[in-house]
């Protein structure tokens, strides 16, 4: 993950080297060589995703490709805030590491999981979660795709309900009840960590998928704290961006996940993913229009 980008662009390599120095371990080696189990653990995956997405963004910026508004999906909000100079990269790395460790600690104490529900309206998912109990909508990814999160047994009940009613659902390969009230014990630890960093005014509008509003200044601290237990309202946020005039969306990261979601939310927008050197021509073409 990110190796070809770092080999092709010095700014991307320097981003990984900076992360290594801040974190005190060889994140680049784990991203580029594995093992995958180590990379996919919450405590490693979150700094890795931040580093990779920022490396890609810095390459784009070096090629004079810029946007008008930034947003992120869950952890991606940290990447977005670094991109618009609201958070320093080194401090964001420490924050996401703290966030990951706090969430992992909660997950060990209260086993939780997440499940994707397909083909239902948002209100139907909300009603099904309420019926199952101790499980809540966590990611409004796109119309017909909502992820629910909660205590493990509650998610199992939800899946049983879905099966008996012919609803498409699948358990996600995650080790916690992220974006649910189960994560409440982690908020104090993250709030304390956020209190020690400087949050500057973003150089571009930061559209939060937690509040579905443009956030700035000290509000950003409370948004990032609330994010631990609040659902990711990605569908609503993409629609808000579209209402602001956004008609071209660029995803920075290792996979083409969000571009697919954006197209399902708004079929009339253009999307491009940037995570590999071969993606640059398409990104440059999109930016030139």
Assess whether pLDDT exceeds 90 at residue 198: yes
Is it the case that residue 286 has pLDDT exceeding 90?
no
Contacts 24+ apart (CB under 8 A), 229-233: 229/179, 229/180, 229/181, 229/183, 229/184, 229/187, 230/179, 231/136, 231/137, 231/138, 231/139, 231/140, 231/179, 232/73, 232/74, 232/138, 232/139, 232/140, 232/141, 232/179, 233/140, 233/209
Quote the tokens at residue 273: 């993913």
pLDDT at 60 over 90: yes
Q: How far apart (Å, rounded) are the C-alpha atoms in residues 250 and 204?
A: 15
* % of the chain with per-residue pLDDT over 90: 92
Angle at CA of residue 247, ends 244 and 252, nearest 5°: 105
Choose the catalytic residue: 97, 107, 179, 208: 179
Instruction: Just give the CATH number of 3-107+181-288.
Output: 3.40.366.10
Give the mean pLDDT of 220-234. 97
pLDDT bucket at 12, cuts 50 / 70 / 90: very high
Which of 53, 74, 113, 180 does the annotation list as catalytic? 74
Instruction: Enumerate the domain spans of the chain.
Output: 3-107+181-288, 111-171
For position 98, what pLDDT does the model report?
96
Is 74 annotated as catalytic? yes
Any idea what DSSP says for residue 206? Answer: E
Instruction: Tell me which CATH homologous superfamily contains domain 111-171.
Output: Malonyl-CoA ACP transacylase, ACP-binding (3.30.70.250)
Output the pLDDT for position 109: 95
pTM across the whole model: 0.95
Judged against a pLDDT cut of 90, whether residue 204 lies above it is answered with: yes
Position 29 scores a pLDDT of: 95
Q: Would you state the pLDDT for residue 288?
A: 82
What integer pLDDT is reported at residue 197 of this predicted model?
Answer: 95
What pLDDT was estimated at residue 42? 86
Active site residue 179: yes
């Amino acid at each position: 993950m990110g190796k070809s980008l770092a080999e092709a662009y010095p700014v991307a390599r320097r981003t990984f080297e900076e992360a290594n120095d801040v974190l005190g371990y060889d994140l680049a080696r784990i991203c580029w060589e594995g093992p995958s189990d180590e990379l996919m653990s919450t405590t490693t995956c979150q700094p890795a995703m931040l580093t990779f997405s920022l490396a890609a963004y810095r390459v784009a910026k070096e090629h004079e490709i810029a946007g008008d508004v930034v947003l992120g999906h869950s952890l991606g909000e940290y990447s977005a805030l670094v991109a618009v100079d609201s958070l320093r990269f080194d401090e964001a790395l420490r924050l996401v590491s703290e966030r990951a460790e706090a969430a992992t600690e909660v997950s060990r104490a209260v086993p939780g999981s997440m499940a994707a529900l397909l083909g239902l309206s948002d209100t139907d998912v909300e009603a099904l979660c309420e019926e199952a109990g101790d499980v809540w909508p966590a990611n409004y990814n796109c119309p017909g795709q909502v992820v629910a999160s909660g205590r493990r047994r509650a998610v199992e009940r939800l899946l049983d309900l879905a099966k008996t009613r012919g609803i498409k659902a699948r358990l996600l390969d995650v080790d916690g009840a992220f974006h649910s009230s189960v994560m409440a014990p982690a908020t104090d630890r993250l709030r304390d960590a956020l209190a020690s960093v400087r949050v500057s005014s973003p150089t571009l509008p930061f559209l939060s998928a937690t509040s579905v509003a443009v956030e700035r200044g000290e509000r950003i601290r409370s948004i990032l704290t609330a994010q631990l237990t609040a659902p990711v309202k990605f569908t609503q946020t993409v629609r808000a961006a579209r209402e602001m005039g956004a008609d071209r969306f660029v995803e920075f990261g290792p996979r083409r996940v969000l571009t697919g979601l954006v197209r399902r939310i708004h079929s009339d927008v253009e999307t491009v993913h940037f995570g590999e050197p071969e993606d640059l021509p398409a990104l440059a073409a999109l930016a030139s229009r």
